[in-house]
Structure formats: structure tokens, C-alpha cells
Amino acid sequence: MLTRTLQRHMQQRTAEMLDRIGIALTSEEKENIEVVELGLGEVERTGLQIITYINNDSYCAKELVMFGRQTCPEHKHPPVGNEPGKMETFRCRWGKVWLYVEGEPTQAIQSRVPEGSEAYYTVFHEIELHPGDQYTIPPNTFHWFQASDEGAVVSEFSTTSRDEFDVFSDPRIKRIPEVVEG
């Protein structure tokens, strides 16, 4: 559960980080920064912040902002109706991010799987993204990612985003946040 106070704090940190690295946001975009808390009560460790520039029936563009070692947990974007699921391209804009996808596991990964959630991470083919690097994740493919110690900003370009249909390996996760006063 996400308190309104924590939500505002994370939105402010996100806006300050983007400003510091030269990514301008409008006042409306700053107010609408999505704090993805996932219902685990550990957004600083497991979660991320999203700015959605556009999401329509054809395509989607977002900025994914992650603080040091923040992790977006393992999930996939399954087929919805007649569509095969979201295909997304990650392009690292700032910092460093480790992306894990299905495939041959990397011997010694650089990320730290969040303690207590190890059972819910099953794909370990590591792709390291630095500013200017990009990688396209096919639809319906399990993946997860983590920022380095300094944090990371990743631009996401994808087919239509339907976050409410995302399938997470961890059954405790609630993708749509519940914000309470406090």
C-alpha cells in the first residue's frame, strides 16, 4: 500500500532526478508521475516510477525512472484479445540498468535479487544497458530489471500498454497501486 505522502516524495525525487539529467517534464507530467509500489510495501527496493507520454491503441512511450538498485520484478505482457502482448524496446538514457530475459542464464549476474523474493525470479540472461544502448523484448516474454547503484532512466517504446494484464511471477504483486491518505 502506498501512502499519499510517500507517493508525493517519490514523485518529487523522480522529477528532481530527471531535471538534473536534463529531461524536461511539464507541470502536468510531474503531477502524474506513476509510483509503481506493487503492493509489497517496499517501493524503494521493488518498484519504479513511470512517466507516460502517450499510450493509445497503436503505441506507447514512457520514461522508466529507477533509483539505486530499485528493481522491477519479473513479469511478462501476455496476449490480450487478438493482440500478441506488448512488445517493448528499452533504451537506456542515463545510468546503467541490468535487464534479465529468457535465455541462457548468465553465470554471475550483477543484480541483487530482492531478499525474500528469490523464488519469484526465474530468468537470468543478463543484458547490461548503458546510455544509448537498447534492447527489444518480444511479447509474452518473462523479464525483470534493476538499476545500478546510481539509478537509471530508461525510455520505453512499445505497442499499446495494458499494465492491468501484466503477469507477475510473484503472486503477492498488485500492479495497479492502492494509494491511501497518510
> 37 to each of 115, 130, 141, 179, how far by Cα in Å?
17, 25, 22, 9
For 16-50, the pLDDT digits (tens) are 999 999 999 999 999 999 999 999 999 999 999 99
* pLDDT the model gives residue 125: 98
Contacts of 1 (CB under 8 A, 6+ apart): 37, 39, 41, 178, 179, 180
- Grid cell in block for residue 74: 519479473
Mean local confidence (pLDDT), 76-103: 97
Mean local confidence (pLDDT), 62-71: 98
Place domain 2-180 in its CATH homologous superfamily: Jelly Rolls (2.60.120.10)
For 142-170, the pLDDT digits (tens) are 999 999 999 999 999 999 999 999 999 99
**Which single residue is written with the C-alpha cell 514512457?**
62
* pLDDT the model gives residue 52: 98
- Assess contact for 116 and 40: CB atoms under 8 A: no
Nearest to 51 by CA among 73, 72, 76, 31: 31
Contacts of 42 (CB under 8 A, 6+ apart): 114
Q: What is the dihedral of CA 146, 157, 162, 125, to 10 degrees?
A: -40
* pLDDT the model gives residue 139: 98
* Residue 165 to residue 1: CA distance in whole angstroms: 19
Mean local confidence (pLDDT), 99-126: 98
Tell me: pLDDT of 177 over 80. Answer: no
* pLDDT the model gives residue 44: 95
Mean pLDDT of the chain: 97
Domain ranges of the chain: 2-180
* pLDDT the model gives residue 178: 83
* pLDDT the model gives residue 182: 81
* pLDDT the model gives residue 179: 84
